[in-house]
Amino acid sequence: GAVVSQHPSRVICKSGTSVKIECRSLDFQATTMFWYRQFPKQSLMLMATSNEGSKATYEQGVEKDKFLINHASLTLSTLTVTSAHPEDSSFYICSARDWRESSEQYFGPGTRLTVT
Amino acid sequence: DAKTTQPPSMDCAEGRAANLPCNHSTISGNEYVYWYRQIHSQGPQYIIHGLKNNETNEMASLIITEDRKSSTLILPHATLRDTAVYYCIVRVNSGGSNYKLTFGKGTLLTVNP
Handedness of CA A52, A35, B46, A106 (dihedral sign): positive
Q: Are strands A111-115 and A10-13 parallel, antiparallel or unpaired?
A: parallel
pLDDT in tens, A62-72: 999 999 999 98
Among the listed residues A105, A23, A79, A24, the one whose alpha carbon sits nearest the alpha carbon of residue B92: A105
pLDDT value at position B98?
75
Distance, in Å, from the CA atom of A113 to the CA atom of A66, rounded to the nearest integer, reads 15
Residues in chain B with CB shorter than 8 Å from the CB of A91 are 41
Q: 3-state DSSP helix/strand/coil percent for chain A, to nearest 5?
A: 5, 50, 45
Q: Are A96 and A75 in contact (CB under 8 A)?
A: no
Torsion over CA of B2, B5, B9 and B13, rounded to 10 degrees? -120
Query: B46 and A110 in contact by Cβ < 8 A?
Result: no
pLDDT value at position B7?
97
Distance, in Å, from the CA atom of A31 to the CA atom of A96, rounded to the nearest integer, reads 8
B57 reaches A (C-beta below 8 A)? no
d(CA B66, nearest CA chain A) in Å: 20
| Cβ neighbours of residue A66 closer than 8 Å, sequence gap 6 or more | A81, A82, A83
B43: nearest CB among A45, A93, A97 = A93
| Radius of gyration, alpha carbons of chain A | 13
Interface of B with A in 69-108 (CB under 8 A): 87, 94, 97-106
pLDDT value at position A1?
66
Nearest chain B alpha carbon to A106: B46
Handedness of CA B7, B68, B87, A35 (dihedral sign): negative
Nearest chain A alpha carbon to B92: A101
Residues in chain A with CB shorter than 8 Å from the CB of B106 are 43
pLDDT in tens, A64-107: 999 999 998 999 999 999 999 999 999 999 999 887 766 788 99
Q: What is the pLDDT along chain B (113 residues), one digit of tens a residue?
A: 458 999 999 999 999 999 999 999 989 888 899 999 999 889 999 999 999 999 999 999 999 999 999 999 999 999 999 999 999 999 887 776 678 888 989 999 999 99
User: What is the number of CB-based contacts under 8 A between chain A and chain B?
Assistant: 57
Q: Are A111 and A5 in contact (CB under 8 A)?
A: no
A107: nearest CB among B44, B98, B99 = B44
